[in-house]
Amino acid sequence: MQLDKIFRTALQYKASDVYITTGSKPVLRINGDLVLIEEHAVLTKKMAEDYILDTMTDEQKAYFAKNLDLDYSLDLPTICRFRVNVAVQRKGIAAFFRLIPELVFSLDELGHPETLK
């Protein structure tokens, strides 16, 4: 998959989201901040389409072609699971990948007060 390296980078830096948008470099959301992947080229319309469509099944591609918007999940066993939204924007296709962690933290690990239990 063409996005493997970007997804692995997101996991390494504990990003919550990956943004693939026509006309921009790929972006990671890390601790609420948007961080460009500087070493990557600006995504042309063709590059963004190739990257994003590579994550879809044939059925998903057909639905997206008809509706120009799609929500789906992506499970990459060696990397992570993602919740994905793809849409067509003014400049072209865009996708937002939310990383779904395999490990669910307890309230104690998250530092929540005892009253929430």
Q: Residue 83's closest CA among 22, 18, 29, 31?
A: 18
Q: What gap in Å lies between CA 77 and CA 38, rounded to an integer?
A: 27
Q: What is the pLDDT of residues 60-100, one digit of tens each?
A: 999 999 999 999 999 998 888 999 999 999 999 999 999 99
| Contact between 90 and 21 (Cβ < 8 Å) | no
Q: What is the pLDDT of residues 32-71, one digit of tens each?
A: 999 999 999 999 999 999 999 999 999 999 999 999 999 9
At the topology level, CATH places domain 4-116 in Beta-Lactamase (3.30.450)
User: Which pTM does this prediction carry?
Assistant: 0.86
Q: Which amino acid is at 41?
A: A
Domain chopping of the chain, boundaries: 4-116
Q: What gap in Å lies between CA 80 and CA 93, rounded to an integer?
A: 23
Res. 107 pLDDT band, cuts 50 70 90: confident
- Strands in 27-30's sheet, in edge-to-edge order, are 33-36, 27-30, 17-21, 93-100, 80-88, 69-76
Q: What gap in Å lies between CA 86 and CA 104, rounded to an integer?
A: 26
